[in-house]
Amino acid sequence: MKIYLAPMEGITGYVYRNALHNLCNGKIDKYYTPFIAPRPKKGMHDRERRDLLPENNQDVSLVPQILTNSAPDFTNLATEIHELYGYQEINLNLGCPSKTVVSRGKGSGFLSNPKELDHFLMQIFDQRDKKGQQYDISLKTRLGVSDPDEIWNLLSIYEKYPVSELTVHVRVQSDYYKKPARMSYMSEIKNRYPGELAYNGDIFTVENYAKCTDVQEMPLMLGRGVIRNPFLPLMLKGVDVENQEAKERLKVFHKAIYEGYQADMDIVPVIFHMKELWAYIGDVFVEADKARKHLRKAKNRSEYEEAVREMFHHDIDLKKNSALGN
The answer to whether the beta carbons of residues 255 and 48 sit under 8 Å apart is no
- Cα separation of 288 and 324, whole Å? 16
Nearer to ligand FMN, 89 or 202 (CB): 202
Shortest Cβ 7–ligand FMN spacing (Å): 4
Which amino acid appears at position 115 of this protein? K
Contact residues for 29 (Cβ-Cβ < 8 A; gap 6+): 2, 3, 4, 61, 219
The gap between the terminal CA atoms of the chain, to the nearest Å, is 22
* Residue closer to ligand FMN (CB basis): 172 or 314: 172
Which residue number places its CB atom closest to ligand FMN?
223
Least Å from the CB of residue 142 to ligand FMN? 8
d(CA 305, CA 293): 13
Longest CA pairwise span in the chain (Å): 59
Cβ proximity to ligand FMN: between 179 and 293 the closer is: 179
- Rounded to the nearest whole angstrom, what is the least distance from the CB of residue 306 to ligand FMN in the complex? 26
CA distances from 108 to 81, 83, 99 (A): 23, 28, 10
Return the number of the residue (11 or 218) whose C-beta is nearest ligand FMN: 11
Q: How far is the CB of 244 from ligand FMN (least distance, A)?
A: 27
Binding residues for ligand FMN, rule: CB under 6 A, are 6-11, 34-35, 65, 93, 95-96, 140, 169, 177, 200-203, 222-225
- CB 156, min distance to ligand FMN, A: 22
Query: Residue 18 or residue 229: which is nearer to ligand FMN going by CB?
Result: 229
